[in-house]
Amino acid sequence: MWRGMISGFLMLLATMTQAADFDEAVAAINDGNFTEAFRVFSVLAEQDDVRAQQALAWMYYDGQGRQRDYEKAAYWYRKAADKGNITAQINLAQMYAYGQGVAQDFSEAAGWWQKLAEQGDGRSQAALAGLYFQGKGVEKNMATAISLWRKAAEQGNIEAQRNLGLMYGKGQGVGQDDVQAYAWLNAAAMQGDKVAEKSRDYAVQQLTATQLKEAELLAGQYVEKYVAAFEAENKKPH
């Protein structure tokens, strides 16, 4: 009994020590001391601290405190991703999609994005939709792409809002609808997307006076529901 209690206490003490060290490394980053942060994260990552593994991967990826090294970034992202770290999973999927530090593999990227999309991550839904649209790593499926873009668009994802608007404008995968096209493109444009802004301005020219009133009303509703409501959340980095 005592042996078990002592063992549990030592494990708790080690966890508390790791947490304190991690916080010190974060503070070092905030102070611009990337070398010290890198040193601490490296130690903690080797001790299997998942947050440190993700942070160390970021430092390798971004070249903070060390020369940029995509292979080592992918290695540590994989370590953290396998333990369920969502940020690591998102970034690892991106590295597979672009072939950074690993051989380009759209199937592998799709697999990670699929897991995250099922958990409701909007950016992963948008990225996975792009693969279904192009037929990269998955069988081409326009209906699935539209469905995923819609889910992501309703979470304020700019890319998804723009693409959904373009699909409505072209009548690609959905019924052609200039009102919906205008509303979704406007949502993305309101978040600074220049392509969406130009496409929205073009969509205006396709609308009758009556349709324009309807489109502006719908656009206002979309901004309130799918832009303003997610403004703070979508500013957070992965």
Task: Provide the residue-wise pLDDT of the chain in tens; the chain has 238 residues.
Answer: 545 544 443 333 345 446 678 888 888 888 888 889 999 999 999 999 999 999 999 999 999 878 899 999 999 999 999 999 999 999 999 999 999 999 999 999 999 999 999 999 999 999 999 999 999 999 999 999 999 999 999 999 999 999 999 999 999 999 999 999 999 999 999 999 999 999 999 999 999 999 999 999 999 999 999 999 998 776 665 5
- Which superfamily is assigned to 18-104 in CATH? Tetratricopeptide repeat domain (1.25.40.10)
CA distance 10 to 128: 43
DSSP assigned state of 216: H
CA distance 182 to 214: 10
CB neighbourhood size of 71 (10 A): 11
CB neighbourhood size of 56 (10 A): 30
E strand or H helix at 193 = none
Q: Are 26 and 40 spatial neighbours (Cβ–Cβ below 8 Å)?
A: no
Helix (H, G, I), strand (E, B) or coil at 28: helix
CA distance 186 to 86: 30
Domain ranges of the chain: 18-104
CA distance 74 to 95: 7
Alpha helices in 135-170 (DSSP H): 142-153, 158-170
User: What length is written for the chain?
Assistant: 238
Q: Which two tokens stand for residue 186?
A: 């406007």
Q: Check residue 207 and give its pLDDT.
A: 96
Phi, psi (degrees; rounded to nearest 5) at 225: -85, -35
Q: Check residue 22 and give its pLDDT.
A: 82
Closest of 154, 107, 102 to residue 126, by C-alpha: 154
Q: Are 74 and 101 spatial neighbours (Cβ–Cβ below 8 Å)?
A: yes
Q: Are 187 and 150 spatial neighbours (Cβ–Cβ below 8 Å)?
A: no
